[in-house]
Structure 1
């Protein structure tokens, strides 16, 4: 008998899926790897509960005919969907991996970290996933306010190399900040390099950012970005196709890339080598007919060889400014959702110069200070200090390390 989803991990109550259907999707996600086309076709044919029962019971279970969409009818539907032998092979493959106890553990882990389960019935399910045809995720685990996913209707994916150059990092941060000012949400993968720069600059600009992970929502990978990803979960959204407890693998990174490309209105590759994994994201975007842009670099820089390849071989649009990136996505973007905090932000901006002076006076060039210490010295709210520090970081006037924040001494630059 299938157990219901625990209320703590059920997510938004407005979703149309029943508890049984939601638990079935959780269980299926423990057995089926992302991007498995057979799974998509069989879920369409049998429904998530029917497919789970076909895996658990086996095709020849004597009691299987007790439900309308099961037994003989279920087998016929499965055979019709992907062919008899192929269906049997798929069910056998998933049966070896399925663990209902692991499904329950996934729900318990979700409850501990405050993750929610979204299904295709959920009101915040990304509309762009419809472009994935038979390969959409079975479910989506999120950390953060699910209503923020409404911003994906006006979003740009900024992706690129993990081992980026200073040039690439600068372009990523400037682009993310500028696009945030134009009400675009920034989508990326939470990795080192270009991804991290894009997320960090968006948060500093008080924009909305979504990070798609290759493992479960509790696996903040890479570990060096865990603090950044926690901020994304707090102020934006972390999304994962796999249930809590799932480790990232090479295949899962590749499949995660398709979600980035599908969720965003357009994709821009900021900097990428000839074999960069971000080219995989670009390939998914091109395959779905989404706008694709690439930022050029020096012809002598191997770090930009992938971008030049996209422009030359894949008809990517050459984009060199934030305006050009926005122009790439604008025809396909929706209006940004209303921002209830907008009046408060506007009022705060009128005192931005005074806030910046107060934060600068609380910084030193040789002694690091935490954001909490700076807030205490400047007598400003922590949220204000965090925003000002982000702007100073973008402007190259302050930097953060493990020891805290420090003022950059321009006299030695």
Structure 2
């Protein structure tokens, strides 16, 4: 028997190898394999992919792509709930997915996951971080995980600590105290494993014998940054390393921006400890604000450019000014702490509740006005970002290869390459296209 044109027994064995112990029937195996495939077929945050998976089911949606279903028919199926999908949008989505539709891609990812001891999590799993469901159509189709079950369960009590890569001694000191203090209070530390603030947050949590979770922008089989290989290995031993991308996927600038939405969504609250005016951590803050999550920022010296982003969040985007672990914990009290406070005080309408955004009058009520940081720091043209991510300054690549790497439609790739060539950012050779060294995104 076959499954999506592949040998069912091989698919079943690989799916079971990366799933939690238990009986999986044919439908469960088909769904998990389809979700694993979708995690590599569509770029993170692809709205139409998420909608197709939710409305049709992962397997049925994948079958529609495999069968090269007509865009009009596909759009009509998704529009059955009364919210129409423009046929042109559906056609562009299919054109984005098709360059990556190769029969053995998901099998390779599953084999690599099994080799590294990674697991595949879906919404049906007990350890699935349920707050990610708040992303709705932008939620991941599946998660690839390496680490301990206790850490995955601990995400329910997680607080995100994020900040600049180019951290100062002040920022690292504040982060160390914040992470250790929150761990002592029962929180799990969530961050992105980057240099600077992220790395210090993870290290301090581990040093305090606490739980910490790192969300990556590439596959969990290839740790990034490479300088944090030993740190991420330690996190795997007692915490968890998570990605929505299958094993073998490289990190790109676009994927870092999309990874930030998972950090914000999975956490009870997000704290920005140190950030410059246009720091990437403000992107995470923007996602947290849009989702209605409590947002805090640690002030720094008014003369420090490294804290300008935190001051911007406090002044313009209603972030709560926090200076110690107690104030950070007030943003998102743990359930047991909230019960204890209710028993001792009689109610939860205290100053700490106001600071935590309990009535959401200042902290979360106006998510549109608070989404500024994410918008301000996002690239003006995400298609250009994704295309440049897919190009090399040394090796020429064909348009088909670029389309598969970027997750863009072939027609879009060709049009964008023409514009970028006029700007001098790319050049065409006999073997394909290359990126000009000076246009590399930092």
TM-score (norm 1): 0.75
| Aligned residue runs from structure 1 range 214-363, under 5 A | 214-330=217-333, 333-335=334-336
Cα deviation, residue 131, structure 1? 1.6
Cα deviation, residue 85, structure 1? 2.7
Cα deviation, residue 189, structure 1? 0.2
Cα deviation, residue 95, structure 1? 1.2
Cα deviation 1:26-77 (Å, max 9, x = unaligned): 111111000011111111221111111111111159xxxxxxxxx96x6631
Q: 1:30 aligns with which of 40, 46, 59?
A: 40
| Aligned residue runs from structure 1 range 369-408, under 5 A | none
Cα deviation, residue 114, structure 1? 0.2
* Equivalent-residue separation in structure 2 for 1:246 and 1:98 (angstroms): 15
Count of residues paired in the alignment: 324
Secondary structure, aligned partner of 1:13: coil
Asked if residue 159 in structure 1 is aligned to residue 162 in structure 2, the reply is yes
Q: 2:211 aligns with which of 201, 208, 217?
A: 208
Question: 1:15, 1:123 within 8 Å by CA — same for their partners in 2?
Answer: no
Asked if residue 96 in structure 1 is aligned to residue 99 in structure 2, the reply is yes
Structure with bigger gyration radius: 1
Secondary structure, aligned partner of 2:194: coil
Q: 2:188 aligns with which of 185, 189, 192?
A: 185
Secondary structure, aligned partner of 1:158: strand
Question: 1:59, 1:75 within 8 Å by CA — same for their partners in 2?
Answer: no
Question: 1:269, 1:278 within 8 Å by CA — same for their partners in 2?
Answer: yes
* Equivalent-residue separation in structure 1 for 2:105 and 2:123 (angstroms): 22
RMSD: 1.9
Asked if residue 8 in structure 1 is aligned to residue 11 in structure 2, the reply is no
* Equivalent-residue separation in structure 1 for 2:150 and 2:31 (angstroms): 22
Aligned pair in 2 of structure 1 residues 214, 319: CA closer, same or farther (>3 Å)? same
Secondary structure, aligned partner of 2:165: coil
Aligned pair in 2 of structure 1 residues 75, 303: CA closer, same or farther (>3 Å)? closer
Cα deviation 1:257-301 (Å, max 9, x = unaligned): 000001110000000000100000000001111010000000100
Aligned pair in 2 of structure 1 residues 307, 112: CA closer, same or farther (>3 Å)? same
| Aligned residue runs from structure 1 range 7-86, under 5 A | 7-13=16-22, 18-60=28-70, 76-80=76-80, 82-86=85-89
Secondary structure, aligned partner of 2:96: helix
* Equivalent-residue separation in structure 2 for 1:176 and 1:154 (angstroms): 13
* Equivalent-residue separation in structure 2 for 1:79 and 1:57 (angstroms): 19
Aligned pair in 2 of structure 1 residues 12, 118: CA closer, same or farther (>3 Å)? farther
**Stretches of structure 2 lacking an aligned partner (at least 5 in a row):** 338-442
Give the equivalent residue in structure 1 for 2:143.
Answer: 140
Cα deviation 1:299-341 (Å, max 9, x = unaligned): 10000000000000100000001110011111xx3349xxxxx
Give the equivalent residue in structure 1 for 2:116.
Answer: 113
Secondary structure, aligned partner of 1:38: helix
Aligned pair in 2 of structure 1 residues 59, 142: CA closer, same or farther (>3 Å)? same
Question: 2:75, 2:85 within 8 Å by CA — same for their partners in 1?
Answer: no
* Equivalent-residue separation in structure 2 for 1:46 and 1:324 (angstroms): 44
**Stretches of structure 1 lacking an aligned partner (at least 5 in a row):** 62-70, 337-413
Secondary structure, aligned partner of 1:134: helix
Aligned pair in 2 of structure 1 residues 215, 102: CA closer, same or farther (>3 Å)? same
* Equivalent-residue separation in structure 1 for 2:155 and 2:79 (angstroms): 37
